[in-house]
Structure 1
Amino acid sequence: MTAIRTDRWIRLDGTTNTRDLGGLPTADGGETVRGRILRSDNLQTLSPDDVHRLVAEVRLTEVVDLRTTAEILLEGRGPLRDVDAVTHRHFTLLPERGRRTDVFAAEEEDAALIRAGLPADWAESLLPRQVTPGSDGELPAVRSYLGYLTDGAENVVAALHSLAAGGPGAAVVHCAAGKDRTGVVVALALAVAGVATEAIVADYAQTAEVIDALVAKLAASPTYAEDMTTRGVAHHTPRAESMRRVLDLLDERWGGPVGWLDQHGFGVDEQAALRARLRN
């Protein structure tokens, strides 16, 4: 597997899996630009120093949140939500099972009412386990990722559109762990930017370097504790072959990631804007 630079990590007090998408090799011999798009696990526990660093030094102006409404309501407002200079956008890639889908309206209500508004099986909407038809023989992660591209296609495209249209500051795209839902959106963005396939796979797999700390962080939250403790670290560790297989299937079924985007409404102009954000 391609070795990629390890100095892309952004070490924060309140996250475990934050890194810059800059510094990745492109197929034409170039490199993606730093300080444009970051990927991360959730941002709920950022410290005041973290917020200052992201806003004042990294120049963060946009958060693209891929979690479900249930996750956001149960975790509560993160500290970046109180920063006027930072815009938040919400694009869930999983089926919404609660009555409430307007995060910004619902979070202002009483917490007890929010919880009462969630169905008995709300926890199932937190976890990336939906699958797409015809993927029975694939690895579990591959089946889930194909599910995002089927059931969550509209919001995958919306998240990429937000990244393409953003700026001039930096954006961060995240979910809970920053590896599954974030991994699929980031893989498509990097493919549009012309990043070499093996570098996309290596970036995805790099989360394995911090998986122990990441699982421990999520296990400390009541929202994720049961899944983290019952399934174990090995289950949650990203495997390079999972992302490689997804990219192979995109090639086989849609002519590659760009082909998938073409067929789902993310056209030439949007692709050019996203490529420019990561490359120019």
Structure 2
Amino acid sequence: MTSTSPDDLRTGRWLRLDGTTNTRDLGGLPTTDGGTTAFGRVLRSDNLQTLSDDDVRRLVEDLHLRDVIDLRTTAEVLLEGRGPLRAVEGVTHRHFSLLPERGHHTDVFAVEEDEVPELPTGWAETLLPRQTTEADEVEPPAVRSYLGYLHHRPENVLAALRTIASGDGAAVVHCAAGKDRTGVVAMFTLAAAGVPDEEIVADYAMTADVIDALVAKLRQSPTYAEDMTRREVAVHTPRAETMRRLLEILGERHGGPLGWLEEHGFGAGEQAALRARLRD
């Protein structure tokens, strides 16, 4: 088969793959100093379980994918099973759930599971995570969820960013839908690259363009079908004001996303390394 150039895979920043509906490049975004983020460094995506053989070839050979950063819960990973990229030599998978989890599966990729273990009661509620803190109860539900990630699993937010910063080749960050958990990690990544807030908001909101196809895809999986079916598509649709409010809160409490990173031990040196990953 003839090799496909990276440009042939794209419609703007979207990547056209057979097995995903919400894969896009964090390249091509303007920065506050007049630059532009580079294509082919960091991708954001929905679940990668249904990638075709051609998708895998394109990602690995044409886009030089080397790191997969999986933000799903342990239950999601085990129930969905091994995706096709797991079999590819040279592609490293890292698992950083953004939710508090019970059980002992702290590194789901470190061992092979013969069967899905007994899962905690109510584990499915973490598929569209709603953990929050009492102080944030006045905020909209999605904003509360995102603040919950930062409150409950700051170490995994940082671990995901460190994996991106230290990578060689392209990295893809994903969860189930590629909008909530992935959206928060993408926000910090773009902020470190110098992308202004409104461009970060616009990137987050792009998932709304594919939400019908995305929900339809997730309804095909027994893992996600119930949650996708019992809520209207509008509930799953990301809104610009959600990310705008998250950025406002980070500004009020921490001086912005970079201030939050600094306060949690991701200092100037690591921020510069993350910035360099997206800048030429």
Instruction: Trace 1:22-171 onto structure 2 (pairs within 5 A).
Output: 22-106=27-111, 108-111=112-115, 114-116=116-118, 118-167=119-168, 169-171=169-171
Shift of 1:90: 0.7
* Count of equivalent residues: 271
| In 1, Cα distance between equivalents of 2:133 and 2:260 | 15
Task: Verify: 1:266 aligned to 2:266, yes or no.
Answer: yes
| In 2, Cα distance between equivalents of 1:102 and 1:79 | 19
Q: Deviations over 1:108-148 (max 9, x none)?
A: 2322xx232x1232212332111123111111100000001
Quote the residue 1:8 is aligned against. Answer: 13
| In 1, Cα distance between equivalents of 2:41 and 2:197 | 20
Q: Which amino acid aligns with 1:264?
A: H
Quote the residue 2:4 is aligned against. Answer: none
Q: Which amino acid aligns with 1:26?
A: T
| In 2, Cα distance between equivalents of 1:144 and 1:125 | 10
Q: Which amino acid aligns with 1:228?
A: M
Q: Give the secondary structure class of the aligned counterpart of 2:217.
A: helix
Task: Verify: 1:17 aligned to 2:19, yes or no.
Answer: no
**Aligned residues of 1:70 and 1:98 also touching (Cα < 8 A):** no
| In 2, Cα distance between equivalents of 1:109 and 1:269 | 38
Q: Give the secondary structure class of the aligned counterpart of 2:186.
A: helix
Unaligned stretches of 5+ residues in structure 2: 1-9
| In 1, Cα distance between equivalents of 2:228 and 2:20 | 16
Q: Deviations over 1:164-203 (max 9, x none)?
A: 0111x10000000000000001001100100011000000
**Aligned residues of 1:141 and 1:242 also touching (Cα < 8 A):** yes
Runs of 4+ in 1 over 3 A off after TM superposition: none
TM-score under structure 2 length normalisation = 0.94
Q: Give the secondary structure class of the aligned counterpart of 1:13.
A: coil
**Aligned residues of 1:19 and 1:40 also touching (Cα < 8 A):** yes
Q: Deviations over 1:38-82 (max 9, x none)?
A: 000010000000000000101101101100111000000000000
**Aligned residues of 2:192 and 2:258 also touching (Cα < 8 A):** yes
1:105 to 1:29, Cα distance in 2 relative to 1, 3 A:
closer
Quote the residue 1:228 is aligned against. Answer: 228
| In 2, Cα distance between equivalents of 1:14 and 1:268 | 37
**Aligned residues of 2:161 and 2:189 also touching (Cα < 8 A):** yes
| In 1, Cα distance between equivalents of 2:197 and 2:244 | 8
Task: Verify: 1:252 aligned to 2:256, yes or no.
Answer: no
**Aligned residues of 1:95 and 1:125 also touching (Cα < 8 A):** no
**Aligned residues of 2:18 and 2:55 also touching (Cα < 8 A):** yes
| In 2, Cα distance between equivalents of 1:109 and 1:175 | 20
Shift of 1:232: 1.5
**Aligned residues of 2:95 and 2:109 also touching (Cα < 8 A):** no
**Aligned residues of 1:8 and 1:22 also touching (Cα < 8 A):** yes
| In 2, Cα distance between equivalents of 1:173 and 1:90 | 10
| In 2, Cα distance between equivalents of 1:215 and 1:18 | 14
Q: Which amino acid aligns with 1:79?
A: P
